[in-house]
Amino acid sequence: MTLKDNIGKDYLRYDAAAGLVVFLVAVPLCLGIALASGAPLLAGLVAGFVGGIVVGFLSGSDVSVSGPAAGLTVIVATAIHNLGYPAFLVAVILAGVLQLAFGALRLGALADYVPNAVIKGMLAAIGIVIVLKQIPHALGRDLDFEMDMRFIEPDGKENTLSAIVKALLSASPGALLISGASLGILLTWDKFVAPRAKALKLVPAPLVVVVVGTLLNELFRLRGMAGFYLRGEDGHLVTLPILGSPLDIFGELTRPAWSALRDEGVYVTGVTLAAVASLESLLALEAGQRLDPYKRIALPNRELIAQGLGNLTSGLLGGLPVTSVVVRTSANVYAGNRTRWSTIFHGLLLLVAVLLLGRVLNRIPLAALAAILIVIGSKLMPRALFQEMWREGLSSFVPFFVTIVAIVFTDLLKGVLIGLAFGVFFVIRTNSHAAMIVVSQDNYYLLRFNKDISFVHKAELKEKLSRIPEGATLIIDGTRALHVDRDAFEVLDDYRETAKFKDIKVEFKNLRGKRPDGELPAATR
């Protein structure tokens, strides 16, 4: 079956449903990230609809969804504190310009150097973090902002695990009932309920969850069940800013302070945002391609240009910086999207929500949305993935597992960098083993270079030379190596002297002229 057959004539139905699900997930994320960053709440929503509409339209990805990112929260909060929000917007605009330059210079290819094990570990870790972070919200403890990816909570006094313990000890019966009912609907709707009627197949389960959760909470209020009712004043509900009329938004938007161009800190912040946002976007783009059931390829340089124009637009409109975000992307894929129109549709819904639907959406309990995110998170970490990585061997499993642990116990960016370091180590280790072999017969040994030899092979070369016994004859064959660098030749030169004391006869084959300085190897003179 081809991609065209899968999408078919009614792809808009799938994209509209997926866009609605992503919208429901995105609303609390946009608000929570803005709150945690010390920015106006409207700034998070502006970044949300710009990421959906502008980046969604320009990006070459059919699954990636952009918006404000939790991974930038610390950088953004620090910059806003130091510069002030109007000056910070100038830095966002500069970051967008730099990302346009990154795309034009074709720097997007850097993402291709991230090992697959690290990408898969990142996806699994994000799934684990989503579930862990949403458990307190499902239990009615809504103290931290939605989808804070850090292990240490913003107040510095708690962490992800201690927050769960406290939530269990002070669980709200209303939140438990709503999240429990929501999970029940999500787990049974597509398999048992929707197949009973054709009309029900058109209704996405997350929409049913939001409606049922909201109605349950309203029932608690009408029945006077104070112990069950989740109040917006206590942070248990969605909290959109309310506009008197759609035109009021122009008075609420913060404008960039162009005079800040004289401030050196604006440029430092712009460069930092551009670098980190580009890295996160490229990683999320790669992750989205792995989640995409059709395995469509998106061009990373085009993505950088789309992200750059998105940040340029968001900064001009008073919004937070945007990146491609794995949480929204995974929600998009698992909701059954077909094309980028689901991303654009979610952005349009965010815009309409800001202008017209604030009072309606402010009745949605976070416990219902937590259930949606818990199911999404669980799909990112299937047991089969861990089994697959284990079967691939330690060179894949260790970077995969280290990435998971590092992300869960630090944050997304640090965790990926730690996982990347382990991935590079295993690549070098594997490459070193494959670069040379030793074969022997009686007391004759052949050390053959199978590829070019560089400084990364020094440890392996020393180890193999150290195993040659006294009195042996050793032939070092460089026929298959086009280049042997100075570090390797220094090891060979040193070994030539060592071999004299061990009565080892050393012969060199086809190494002449392969020394970087053009000289013959000392051992062959």
**Tens digit of pLDDT per residue, the chain (525 long)?**
344 444 455 688 899 999 999 999 999 889 888 988 889 989 999 999 999 999 999 999 999 999 998 878 878 988 999 999 999 999 999 999 999 999 999 999 887 788 889 989 998 998 999 899 999 999 998 776 655 677 887 667 788 899 999 999 999 999 999 999 999 999 999 888 888 888 888 788 899 999 999 999 999 999 999 999 999 888 899 888 888 888 889 888 999 999 999 999 999 999 999 999 999 999 999 999 989 998 888 999 999 999 999 999 999 999 999 999 998 999 999 999 999 999 999 999 999 999 998 888 999 999 999 999 899 889 989 999 999 999 998 888 999 999 999 999 988 888 889 998 988 888 777 776 778 999 999 999 999 999 888 888 888 899 999 999 999 999 999 998 888 888 888 899 889 888 999 999 999 998 866 665 555 454 443
Two tokens at 338? 């077909």
CB-based contact 269:91 (threshold 8 Å): yes
Sheet of 473-477, strands arranged across:
436-441, 444-449, 473-477, 505-509
Predicted local distance difference test score (pLDDT) of residue 512: 66
| Domain spans in the chain, listed from the N-terminal domain onward | 10-384, 442-524
Predicted local distance difference test score (pLDDT) of residue 179: 96
Q: Is the four-CA dihedral 220, 224, 229, 232 of positive or negative sign?
A: positive
Radius of gyration of the CA atoms of the chain, in A: 28
Predicted local distance difference test score (pLDDT) of residue 516: 59
CATH for 442-524 (3.30.750.24, 3.20.20.140, 3.40.50.12280, 3.40.1360.10) = 3.30.750.24
Alpha carbon separation from 358 to 49, 217, 221, 350, 361 (Å, rounded): 15, 17, 20, 10, 5
d(CA 121, CA 119): 5
- What are the backbone dihedrals phi and psi of residue 153, each rounded to the nearest 5 degrees, phi first? -65, 160
Predicted local distance difference test score (pLDDT) of residue 433: 72
Predicted local distance difference test score (pLDDT) of residue 5: 45
d(CA 411, CA 403): 10
Q: Which strand (E) or helix (H) includes residue 474?
A: strand 473-477
Two tokens at 368? 């219902």
- Give the count of beta carbons closer than 10 Å to the beta carbon of residue 525: 7
- Give the count of beta carbons closer than 10 Å to the beta carbon of residue 443: 14
d(CA 449, CA 437): 7
d(CA 39, CA 454): 50
- Map tokens 């700034």 to a residue: 43
Predicted local distance difference test score (pLDDT) of residue 65: 97
d(CA 271, CA 92): 9
d(CA 196, CA 143): 40
CB-based contact 427:115 (threshold 8 Å): yes
3-state secondary structure 3-58: HHHHHCCCHHHHHHHHHHHHHHHHHHHHHHHHHHHCCCHHHHHHHHHHHHHHHHHH
pTM, whole model, 2 decimals? Answer: 0.79
- Map tokens 């660098």 to a residue: 485
Q: CB neighbours of 116 closer than 8 A, spacing ≥ 6?
A: 396
CB-based contact 234:339 (threshold 8 Å): no
- Give the count of beta carbons closer than 10 Å to the beta carbon of residue 198: 8
Predicted local distance difference test score (pLDDT) of residue 177: 97
Two tokens at 168? 């269990």
